[in-house]
Amino acid sequence: MKKTILFTVLIFLASAIAAQDGSARMVDWNFSSKKVAADTYEIRFTADINGKYHMYAQNVGVEGPVATSFTFTRNPLIVLNGKVKEIGKMVSKHEAVWDGDVNYYENKVEFVQLVKLKKNIKTNVGGSVEFMVCDDKECLPPAEVPFKINIGG
């Protein structure tokens, strides 16, 4: 009896752990930087969305789905210039499950953040991106992916 209970608990834990990175498996992230002025860099977050899934925009439009959001680690050598911008073909569609119009991306979307260096020195922009993906049948649990992008120098 103890073995059966232990086995059941282990299966449950394994399923919970696998579900936590569900969204992360459906999106391939690429992080890069490009110098656009003497002290300014463009940080790019490119999301390749796999299969028939879609990923929600930063302004998802309704309560319920987890909007894509960026958290930046504090770095005294940089200043974030404005908000993260989205580049891609946004879909706005009514979804009954969320009781409203939602904004999302299919296949690919790029997010761009301008960063200004306070000094001409090598450093990095770090943080994480949180997002959630759904298809027409299910939503996977939200995922958080860390990033660290070198700039300067």
Helices (H), the chain: 2-20, 22-26
Instruction: Provide the 10 A C-beta neighbour count for residue 73.
Output: 12
Q: What is the pLDDT of residue 29?
A: 98
pLDDT at 124 over 70: yes
Domains of the chain: total: 1
- Distance between CA atoms of residues 1 and 142, nearest Å: 35
Assign residue 121 the CATH number of its domain.
2.60.40.1250
Express each pLDDT in 63-118 by its tens digit. Answer: 999 999 999 999 999 999 999 999 999 999 999 989 999 999 999 999 999 999 99
Task: Decide if 56 contacts 103 (C-beta within 8 A).
Answer: yes
Task: Give burial (CB, 10 Å; 0-12/13-18/19+) of 5.
Answer: exposed
Q: If you compute the radius of gyration of the chain from its CA atoms, what whole number of angstroms results?
A: 19
Which domain range does residue 123 map to? 2-151
Model pTM above 0.85:
no
Q: Is the pLDDT score of 5 beyond 60?
A: no
The token pair at 78 is: 């940089």
pLDDT at 21: 57
Q: How confident is the model over 25-52, as pLDDT tens digits?
A: 999 999 999 999 999 999 999 999 998 9
Instruction: Give the pLDDT score at 82.
Output: 96
